[in-house]
Amino acid sequence: APFIHLNDVSLRYGESGEGVEALKRLSLNISRGEFTAVVGPSGCGKSTLMRLLSGLTPCSSGKVCIDGKQVNQPLKTVGMAFQNSALLPWRTALENVLLPLEVVEPYRRDFRRDKARFVERARALLARVGLSGAEDLYGWELSGGMQQRVSLCRALVHEPEILLLDEPFGALDAFTREELWDILQQLWLDRGFTAMLVTHDLPEAVYLADSVHVISERPGYVVHTSHIDLPRP
Ligand code: ADP
Ligand code: ADP
């Protein structure tokens, strides 16, 4: 069975489902360890798909399964990074990376018991993305590229099985973006998590992903998905 399985999923926002239909009859299968990109025009439901997979939002109909289990609550096996890196400016890079461990059970308990181990893990991650020596800089002191590096570390510090990336590099200049591509690819090769990247940037999708899903909005609000297998370099 595929690691991530969406079968005929629709999602309509609003209390009693009277709002916008953000996804309509989407079916998708993703293997464990795969790097998938999702592209499509603004408003086609890419962020909504991420929210479904994180367990933050339930679907209105259809089925979302991860590792054979139906998703119906926020998942701890998921890490997320966004275009707006959402770092806390008055916390250091290191403190920002540690944040999920302080907030999410059961990591919270483990973290209080064995802080040194997790600090070591966070430092190693920061070193992995080229931020050795920047651990104690405050969020507000970091450049956009550095913030996204920290944001990747924060998304991975609890060692999730799935990494969800919602246009993480959309606000960066072209040079910084390509540096970040290599960093992300290296993290993925090292750690073997399953990645899903939402992007507007087709070269980015092609560079990073094993497969690209194109979601397009058509008259009648039907969402189409096609699967393109790309050879890896
Ligand atoms: P994308 O990420 O592809 O731009 P979204 O998933 O953000 O698309 O949005 C899909 C549709 O659902 C859009 O029409 C958007 O306005 C609507 N939408 C997104 N989030 C909400 C929300 N929390 N409440 C109501 N409508 C929403
Ligand atoms: P993106 O295109 O990157 O998904 P958006 O600007 O569409 O970003 O949405 C930003 C936030 O606003 C999201 O959290 C989304 O859920 C929310 N949102 C988008 N459209 C609506 C809407 N029509 N009603 C309520 N919330 C919305």
User: Does the beta carbon of 57 sit less than 6 angstroms from any atom of ligand 2?
Assistant: no
pLDDT tens track for 36-76 = 999 888 888 899 999 999 998 899 999 999 999 999 888 88
Mean pLDDT of all residues belonging to the chain: 89
Ligand 2, atom 25: closest residue by C-alpha: 13
> Which of 47, 49, 217 to mutate to test ligand 2, by most ligand atoms within 8 A of the CB atom?
47
Q: What's the rounded mean pLDDT across residues 158-176?
A: 94
pLDDT (0 to 100) of residue 227: 61
Atom index in ligand 1 nearest the CA of residue 42 equals 4
Give pLDDT, residue 223.
55
CA of residue 194 to ligand 1 center, whole Å:
24
Q: Is 42 in the pocket of ligand 2 (CB under 6 A)?
A: yes
Own/partner pairs, 84-90, CB within 8 angstroms, 24+ separation: 84/171, 85/144, 85/147, 85/148, 85/150, 85/151, 85/168, 86/151, 87/139, 87/142, 87/147, 87/150, 87/151, 87/154, 88/139, 89/138, 89/139, 89/140, 90/138, 90/139, 90/140
Which of residues 92 and 231 earns the better pLDDT score? 92
- The ipTM estimated for the assembled molecules is 0.68
pLDDT at 220: 35
CA distance 164 to 82: 9
Residues with CB under 6 A from ligand 1: 13, 19-20, 22, 40, 42-48
Q: Is the pLDDT of residue 219 over 90?
A: no
